[in-house]
Amino acid sequence: MDLLSATVSAAVASFFLVLIFFCVLLLRVFTGKSLNHPQYPPVMGTVFHQLLYFNRIHDYHIDVVRRQRTFRLLAPAQSELYTAEPRNVEHILKTNYDNYSKGSYHTEILGDIFGRGIFNADGDSWRQQRKIASFEFSTRVLRDFSCAVFRIKAAKLAETILGFVAMNQTFDIQDLLMRCSLDSIFKVGFGVDLNCLEGSNEEGRKFIKAFDDSNRLVYYRYVDPFWKLRRILNLGSEGSLKKNTKIMDGFVFGVIRNKRKQMFEQQKYNDKEDILSRFLEASKEDPLSMTDQYLRDIILNFMIAGKDTSGGTLSWFFYLLCKHPLIQEKVAGEVREIINCKENEINFNAFASCLTDTALDKMHYLHAALTETLRLYPAVPVDGRCADRDDVLPDGFRVKKGDYVYYMAYAMGRMTYIWGEDAEDFRPERWLGDGLFRPESPFKFVSFHAGPRICLGKEFAYRQMKIVAMVLLHFFRFRLADEKKLVTYKTMLTLHIDGGLHLNAIPRVVFDKF
């Protein structure tokens, strides 16, 4: 009986502690936020609305933006400003760039995965990584090496899909594209043959699952006011995140050790084709700051950029092509028109070898279709910055020091005041003028960021996506396995298709093995 009373008393005490904590949280949410001040963006909700609409959070943003282009959601520590106004985006990312940083709130949330890597860093750390990466992306060596890798991986992907065709099976193209992209980024970025696409690397398979799961779990921190308590107690999502981080760390530290060993054993190592080698060389000059932990952070940052931008975008691209079969045929027709190597049309590797830089540059309609995909399904649907000083946005609204200003690429891509009445339609032609690709302002199309922090790997990503798309569309026609199934996103840092994308492939040519 004493044990029962003690248990009940503990439960009641715990309940009241949580209640008190929640009341304090609410008080902090609404205190000192200038709720009705006309110079500050209108309050359209609180952080709890984000939690309520978590599974459709980007659609929730769209609903609000259609009523108010710049608005606030109240949070315990500061206001969170959200904007879908291109003038404000340009102000934050370029005009008044020096006043906006990642901020401690953002870096703490993402720190367990991305640490001090380039996408989670400011100041000297960011400049150091940016300088090295900028040099690497500008070299002809990396360009040629990366394209060679992309061709090999694209041919291997086509071979894998042919295997499903031979067995008359559907397949999850998102899973295949993510594994193909991961193989590519590890080879190009880190000099490692991961072989995830073949499925022969069990350690690699566990790593990619841990990384993707962590992507979603860490995003949940943005809407969970109790995440720090969960982390201390190692409960729920935070317990899972800790396990996944351990898996990722073990794998990445192994990659670093092996690369150090390779560089040490190799007598002449002048042609450093991969990015990790360049960072390892730099670590010799500054071993105290460029530790293995720092290199681990760099690897995971480049990985999310390389894998999720290309793999995720291509997944949405093939979804849109399946929903618009005439556009799929138009892209395939452009491939046939530009790539004139009929003698190799049933040889994956030989065809891929025809995809030269000159050929890729001529693929204007494909480039437009990929860009249109990114407009509707940006790899990073929401991003933001912290105001280091009080500021006034171009639309007249004030920002307080410490406020976070988020720009919503997903919502912006669907706004008629930016893209016209057909904003929600998939129409590659909006990017073409006289048959040539015509770019738009990076502050209305923010899929590759803008300003001083614009994505260094933009052209790198386009080359990879074009090569994969051209190989697959030359050999196959794609259809949705279930036309009636709702296809939507999974809420996480990057925009994945929830549950994958299951397709059927129909060969465009006659293969010998059939």
Q: Cα(first)–Cα(last) distance of the chain, in Å?
A: 75
CA proximity to 88, closest of 402, 418, 443: 443
Query: The tokens 């892209």 sit on which residue?
Result: 331
CA proximity to 495, closest of 370, 312, 303: 312
Query: The tokens 């990466």 sit on which residue?
Result: 133
Distances 159 to 128, 169, 349, 493, 510 between C-alpha atoms, Å: 40, 14, 10, 31, 14
Alpha-carbon distance of 312 to 496, in angstroms, equals: 6
CA proximity to 145, closest of 187, 196, 193, 192: 187
**Amino acid identity of 177?**
L
Long-range contacts of 20-27 (CB under 8 A, 24+ apart): 25/76, 25/225
Q: Residues annotated in the binding site for heme, as ranges?
A: 455
CA proximity to 191, closest of 102, 107, 272, 245: 272
Alpha-carbon distance of 237 to 484, in angstroms, equals: 32
Tally the C-alpha atoms within 13 A of residue 284's C-alpha that lie toward its C-beta.
8
Neighbours of 97 (CB within 10 A): 16
Q: Are strands 404-408 and 382-387 parallel, antiparallel or unpaired?
A: antiparallel
Neighbours of 44 (CB within 10 A): 18
**Amino acid identity of 132?**
I
3-state DSSP call for residue 41? coil
**Amino acid identity of 180?**
C
Cα 435–Cα 438–Cα 443 angle in degrees, nearest 5 = 160
Q: Residues annotated in the binding site, as ranges?
A: 455
CA proximity to 146, closest of 479, 466, 472: 466
Distances 386 to 89, 93, 317, 449 between C-alpha atoms, Å: 13, 11, 32, 16
Token pair recorded at residue 482:
């279930």
